[in-house]
Chain A
């Protein structure tokens, strides 16, 4: 028998899943868009390999896999904007969340894994399938690589979630964060390795990227998948993701406590 809190987590995760399963047409439309963008990005990045054989640890085949995998990962890791918590803070609805037995951040994280599971199946598999079937994207043959990849994916979701928490929690202190949020998203998109593989960055830019949590959201799991990261460095990479996730989650809990105390004292 599972302890009560874990059962609640699963229950919330299940609802997180169902919330997205309720809109099959939207999911299909999204998957279609993912595939279209996969075609486009694939064409562009492949053109680089007309001039070279390798860029960093990537060759043409790895790049193709990278393109289709990132199109699949995009919605699982959800690096795009998300304002739900900020909205709840601004409208004051957060007050009802505070009197519930489970900490709101934990509840959101549970729902997040539910969502991620749904999108793993329905937004993750279609682009990867298209990539494998039509464009010779390569799947790992080693079971250990698959294991490491899924571990990395789980951590990537946590890192992305924690980061989103942080910029949502800014809502406790400012009224309109939209402009900075959009900027944050664009920075995130580049430095997570989603637009261009970090392998292609000049060394100084790659260094800047790895100083941020963003590669932990996309590039690290992808590199494990295409074996750009292999052997012991995989464990280092996973440890790095774990460190970012824990650090940012701790910061989120801290900011949340600060913010709610301010709310309670000032009366929202």
Chain B
């Protein structure tokens, strides 16, 4: 446990240094943040357009879908904030600069994840919060301690799940830097998918989203619980509480894939 506090302290210092560097460019930071805020509103615009045409989408109303949108958006925004710079990792491999991480007495994944911090992505989180506020205001939720706890837990567990997907899929760069775009299908694709109810999708796609790339555990299952809504697919209720476990499993898988990737890099040559 001494190790964990050491890691956190190091992370804090790295982030503080990055923050100082980023906040030096005040106007560009303000513009970026505003841009991000507007972007999340425009993303929601698509949902509004959909509901201008139909009263319900696969049995879900606008505020209900807004809830899914907000949870997914908030989760993705915080993940992006913390590890969005992971998208630069393929370039690191291509330049041979990944070697520089291997010569330091710290885990390579740790170094990479703590290398930067995208403060400007906060704008997207604020946008998602606004949509969340709209959703909660328009839904009749039977609040109890369980539901409140779920609401608070959603984002941290969701961040771990998204981050795991991001790390696991970006590992493709260890084998082929050119193929790095495949990762987008899962990360940005995952965000897109998570905004809509699972029963919208074909059975095989649903299974993929629940058991392989566990997007369903980011927003869908927790939302079902908060809404007190019976699952249109008919899956068991206890599934709604398993998100933290899924997050742990996902993190485990991601770090295993990463280690596998590093070993390949060390054999196949930079």
Contacts and interface: CB of A to CB of B under 8 A. Distances in A.
Are chains A and B touching in the complex at the 8 Å CB cutoff? yes
A187 B42 CA distance: 7
A179 interface: yes
A43 B201 contact: yes
B22 interface: no
A139 B205 CA distance: 26
Nearest to A50: B58
A186 interface: yes
- Interface centre among B25, B57, B179, by most A CB within 10 Å? B179
B199 to A, nearest CB: 9
B178 A25 contact: yes
Contacts of B180: 26, 29
B214 to A, nearest CB: 16
Given A47-B58, A48-B57, A202-B52, A196 B46 contact: yes
A46 to B, nearest CB: 9
B182 A29 contact: yes
B46 A40 contact: no
Contact of B49 (A179, A182, A187, A200): A200
Q: Would you call the interface of chain A mostly helix, strand, loop, or mixed?
A: helix
B6 to A, nearest CB: 36
Contact of B39 (A44, A52, A182): A182
Nearest to A51: B54
Given A36-B189, A196-B50, A205-B49, A47 B57 contact: yes
Contact of A55 (B53, B200, B202): B53
B55 interface: yes
Contacts of B34: 179
Given A47-B58, A190-B42, A179 B50 contact: no
12 contacts: A26-B181, A29-B182, A37-B189, A39-B205, A40-B189, A43-B201, A44-B196, A48-B50, A52-B54, A182-B39, A183-B38, A202-B49
Given A36-B185, A179-B28, 7 more contacts: A23-B178, A29-B179, A41-B192, A43-B201, A50-B58, A190-B45, A200-B53
Interface of A: 23, 25-26, 28-30, 32-33, 36-37, 39-41, 43-44, 47-48, 50-52, 55, 176, 178-180, 182-183, 186-187, 190, 195-196, 200-202, 205
